Amino acid sequence: AVEPFMLDEMSDANREQLETYAFSIWNDLISKISLQRNISETDLNSYADNLLISTSEKAAEYKLVDGLKYKDEVNTQLAELTSTDFDNINFIELSDYIKTPELIGDDFKLAKDKIAVIYASGSIEMGEGDTYTIGSENIPDALRQAREDENVKAIVLRINSPGGSALASEIILREVKLAAEAKPVVVSMGDYAASGGYYIACAADKIYANSNTITGSIGVFGLFFNAKELLNEKIGVNVYTVNTNKNSDVGAFYRTMTADEEKYMQFLVEDIYSKFITHVAEGRNMTVAQVDSIGQGRIWSGLNAVEIGLVDSIGGLNDAIEDAAQLAGISEYRIINLPELKDPFQEIMNDLSAEVRAKVIINTLGKEYIYYEQLNKIMNSQGIQARMPF
């Protein structure tokens, strides 16, 4: 059996990856500030090292901001710039502005060609998924819908995820590959697209990331919890089993794993990691050995990821959309967002139903509910994971 261990300090390997990421973000940040504010990078580092920007007045003194104003003063300035009263300024959301049909003469032209933007946000899980999770059903369904729609000329997959279930990631990747065979697929990474988040991105024709996106974390681990003490001593539940075979309850959470089971689980982890780096190698035109050398679970910033070939370009969602249009050879198009939002009333009813179920369980278990809740969270994340462990 593998003996548990605890580090008294950060490992050298972990320190190296975190320093690489932190300095990549910092150097990019101060270079942009230096360019826009006309302040040398040396001075900016001095400001940070000596804590010189302690107040908003100091920020203005050192030229990091142009001036200090209250909200009403900003409103007055906007009114002056628009030559109108602030209350009469017509504000419009950028998302609505982008979707406005093009004005041709006196008529609005609604483009027939479409680019589908598919939003994959949250942890990757088996099942339907929702607003906060990437499901193995809803995102593949959205990809399939966009692939089969002849008016959709390109797909942009917007990923904001730390990863999750390795199986769900594999299912989603399959649909990404099928979509890429039919039409251009471009990935746009948000704050993070790591581990499983990168897994579902690697087969795209083009990958965009922000300079400070957390990506990579090409690695796999297994979570198999031993809740024997929790069940026996905290909740007072004893589990007895009748098995037809020696390993019928392999990985069971109510007992300690055997040495043979640990060996078996280690094989599964390494097998899925092998599949992971093979997918990346195929998608990024690299060798498996090259991917393995930058994999091993290590995280990278968007800037670092461009340098090592995991990402093609630094850019945001609009850049990805424009590139997708070019790859599709279209100049006039409109955006559709997928998956389609569910009926708000139905969502409210679902939330109320979940709340009622939770109250029944709380009333039944009383103060022991906290253990049930913790156990439920643990069990939902048990198994082989392609997840950023942060």
**Confidence band of 87 (pLDDT split at 50, 70, 90):** confident
Quick one: tokens of 149?
A: 């729609």
Give the residue-averaged pLDDT of 163-190: 96
Q: Which residue has the higher pLDDT, 8 or 50?
A: 50
Query: What is the pLDDT, as a whole number, of residue 111?
Result: 80
Query: What is the pLDDT, as a whole number, of residue 141?
Result: 96
**Confidence band of 148 (pLDDT split at 50, 70, 90):** very high
Query: What is the pLDDT, as a whole number, of residue 386?
Result: 84
Query: What is the pLDDT, as a whole number, of residue 224?
Result: 74
Taking the model in full, what pTM does it have? 0.77
Is 90 exceeded by the pLDDT of residue 106?
no
Query: What is the pLDDT, as a whole number, of residue 327?
Result: 98
pLDDT digits (tens, 9 = 90+) for 33-64: 999 999 999 999 999 999 999 899 999 999 99
Radius of gyration of the chain (CA): 26
Query: What is the pLDDT, as a whole number, of residue 246?
Result: 75
DSSP class per residue in 88-143: G-----HHHHHTSPEEETTEEE--S-EEEEEEEESEEESSS-BTTEEETTHHHHHH
Cis peptide before 4 (omega within 30 of 0): no
Query: What is the pLDDT, as a whole number, of residue 356?
Result: 59
Quick one: tokens of 370?
A: 């906290």
Is 50 exceeded by the pLDDT of residue 231?
yes
Query: What is the pLDDT, as a whole number, of residue 384?
Result: 78
Query: What is the pLDDT, as a whole number, of residue 1?
Result: 44
Give the residue-averaged pLDDT of 61-83: 92
**Confidence band of 94 (pLDDT split at 50, 70, 90):** confident
